[in-house]
Structure 1
Amino acid sequence: MCEYHEILDFKGAKARLSYSDNSQLHFPAHWHEEVELFYICEGISHIHVSQTDYCLRPDDLLIIGSKAIHAIDDQQNNRKIMLQFHPSLFNCVLNDPDISKFIYNFYYSTQKYNIDTTPLLTFFEGLKTLDHRIQSPLLVQSKILELTHHLYKNYKDKCSSTHILNNPIIQQVEQFVANNYEAVITLDMIANEVNLSKYYFTRYFKEHKGITFGQYLREYRIKKALNYLIKTDIAVTEIAYTCGFDSIKTFNRIFKHYTSLSPTQYRGVLNR
């Protein structure tokens, strides 16, 4: 991987199916637009997403949301199925508000499930028989749609969030952060930007994004910092302040929460 923002090449398709068979997979912290699903067939896999460590065992399914920072650090051999797809795969069904809400909750956030229903177990057993080297893009896309159907049937009642796509207030907030992440951004500032009270904005943002505004801002700054670490020789201290952190101590602490490495260690791993 040449840069922190990984660009996945599906060769014109919107999805990819692959396998990790009896191997220890190590991949440093990165992010991409695509959603990524890991289903564990055998053994144990360790995956770090944002600030959470997941220990995955057989029949565990981990859905890593679009743009989430994640790393893989397997300590032992395992077998797992990996599905990657761009969220635009579902554009044809997002006009249904219930399905749109469900897609957002499943594919724009990170969640772990233990598969204990027969249709889902049968589905993943079927995936094991596919030869991923000669897979048809249409077949892979159809399998992801089939999986989403099974998840929708089994887990839709657990989706209580009111997340929606293309929310104009959230989009305005995201654009403001993109334009001003280097500077000090307070709750008062951002609430004023969208003409809401600070208290209402705090509840509104958490309700629609699933995380606090502070968490969103920190993660955005970490993504920018990692690009600097990979693409430039700028000193770590300068990167910290350039990306809006108020001290190198704070930067190092937050960076390690998201990547499990210090900034210097991360730069060293990818420059080997």
Structure 2
Amino acid sequence: MKILSELIKLVDQNPDSIVVMRQQTEQRLPAHQHNKTQLLLVYGGIAYLQTAEKDFYIPSNHYIWIPKNYPHNLMFNTQDLYIVNIYFPEKKAVGFYDELGIYPVSKLLAEMLSFSERWQGDYFKGSWEFEFLITLKGVLSKENLKKFSIQLPTTDDKRLNALIESFRNRLNENLSLAIIARQSGMSVRSLTRLFQTKLHITFVQYLKMLRIIRAMELIKDTDLNMTEIAYEIGYSNIAAFSNNFQQLTNMRPTEFKTK
């Protein structure tokens, strides 16, 4: 694909430069990778980063750190999403910089990004912009922020994918393991084993993450209040919804709405 080859060329043609891109250049491209590490910041909506093993959900005012040579592709379904990509040269990454992770944009990081909001293109060692961006990169590992933990495992098992698709749009229903097993013509034991062997996660854990992802979308895209959103995704108890939301996102639904 021409767009993909041009993107990779722009990022990697100068191995020692830091590249800043503010256009939504990576959306809906096939899986690809870069010789540089990547800081991908998301504002105004939810982006979906797909890898061979998992789908990662990046809400507004969060960033994902992508190690070098890590195959991925980016998806989103809203037009008001704003993305910033910063690509860093990396000879040998360790610790924080060697692991893919999603984190909230702190006040300090937001201020640094605001200061550099007009920057675009390649920046080379010796320039003050380069040194500033290196400092920005160094801030990431020092903040000790909790990872955003919604990561849906994926599988090429057609039977399981069809089963998940059958209840993905029915999250407001009573979707217990026994009910789904009966509807799919399987035993509870067989369905449990299918999730564990193919996705390495329980049905309940998978369903909980699906519901919280849908809640984030409803908070972002509708005027429903929190009680209405809780019922829309299958919670009859607003406290349970709020607790599960915090468990997976490290914030309450009301805080997420404010952000």
What is residue 170 of structure 1 aligned with on the other side?
A: 160
| Residue 193 of structure 1 pairs with residue 183 of structure 2 | yes
Give the letter for the 1:233 counterpart.
D
**Considering only aligned residues, what root-mean-square deviation do their CA atoms show, in Å?**
4.0
Distance 1:220 1:264, change over 3 A: same
Give the TM-score normalised by structure 1: 0.48
- In the alignment, the residues of structure 2 paired with residue 16 and residue 85 of structure 1 have an alpha-carbon distance, to the nearest angstrom, of 6
Task: Give CA deviations for 1:134-182 in whole Å, capped at 9, x if unaligned.
Answer: 7xxxxxxxxxxxxxxxxxxxxxxxxxxxx98431221122112213211
Q: What is the aligned residue count?
A: 161
What is residue 250 of structure 1 aligned with on the other side?
A: 240
What is residue 251 of structure 2 aligned with on the other side?
A: 261
Structure 1's unaligned 5+ residue stretches are: 1-7, 36-63, 88-122, 135-162
| Residue 32 of structure 1 pairs with residue 22 of structure 2 | no
Quote how far apart the aligned CAs of 1:184 are: 0.6
- In the alignment, the residues of structure 2 paired with residue 178 and residue 166 of structure 1 have an alpha-carbon distance, to the nearest angstrom, of 17
Give the letter for the 2:72 counterpart.
F
Quote how far apart the aligned CAs of 1:69 are: 3.5
Structure 2's unaligned 5+ residue stretches are: 1-23, 75-88, 94-119, 123-152
| Residue 125 of structure 1 pairs with residue 96 of structure 2 | no
- In the alignment, the residues of structure 2 paired with residue 223 and residue 232 of structure 1 have an alpha-carbon distance, to the nearest angstrom, of 14
What is residue 10 of structure 1 aligned with on the other side?
A: 26
Quote how far apart the aligned CAs of 1:82 are: 8.7
Asked if the contact 1:29–1:259 (Cα under 8 Å) also holds between the matched residues in 2, the reply is no
Asked if the contact 2:235–2:241 (Cα under 8 Å) also holds between the matched residues in 1, the reply is yes
| Residue 228 of structure 1 pairs with residue 218 of structure 2 | yes
SS at structure 1 position matched to 2:55: coil
- Candidates 233, 236, 239, aligned match of 2:229: 239
Distance 1:175 1:196, change over 3 A: same
- In the alignment, the residues of structure 1 paired with residue 228 and residue 221 of structure 2 have an alpha-carbon distance, to the nearest angstrom, of 14
SS at structure 1 position matched to 2:201: coil
Give the letter for the 1:10 counterpart.
E
SS at structure 2 position matched to 1:230: helix
What is residue 85 of structure 1 aligned with on the other side?
A: 72
Identity of aligned residues (%): 20
Distance 1:26 1:215, change over 3 A: same
- In the alignment, the residues of structure 1 paired with residue 58 and residue 212 of structure 2 have an alpha-carbon distance, to the nearest angstrom, of 12
Give the TM-score normalised by structure 2: 0.50
Give the letter for the 1:85 counterpart.
H
Greater helix share, structure number = 1
Give the letter for the 1:258 counterpart.
L
What is residue 68 of structure 1 aligned with on the other side?
A: 56
- In the alignment, the residues of structure 1 paired with residue 68 and residue 177 of structure 2 have an alpha-carbon distance, to the nearest angstrom, of 41
What is residue 169 of structure 2 aligned with on the other side?
A: 179
Task: Give CA deviations for 1:224-255 in whole Å, capped at 9, x if unaligned.
Answer: 11011011121011101111112101100110
What is residue 204 of structure 1 aligned with on the other side?
A: 194
Higher relative contact order (CA 8 A, sep 6+): 1
Asked if the contact 2:155–2:199 (Cα under 8 Å) also holds between the matched residues in 1, the reply is no
Distance 1:16 1:164, change over 3 A: closer
Give the letter for the 2:55 counterpart.
K
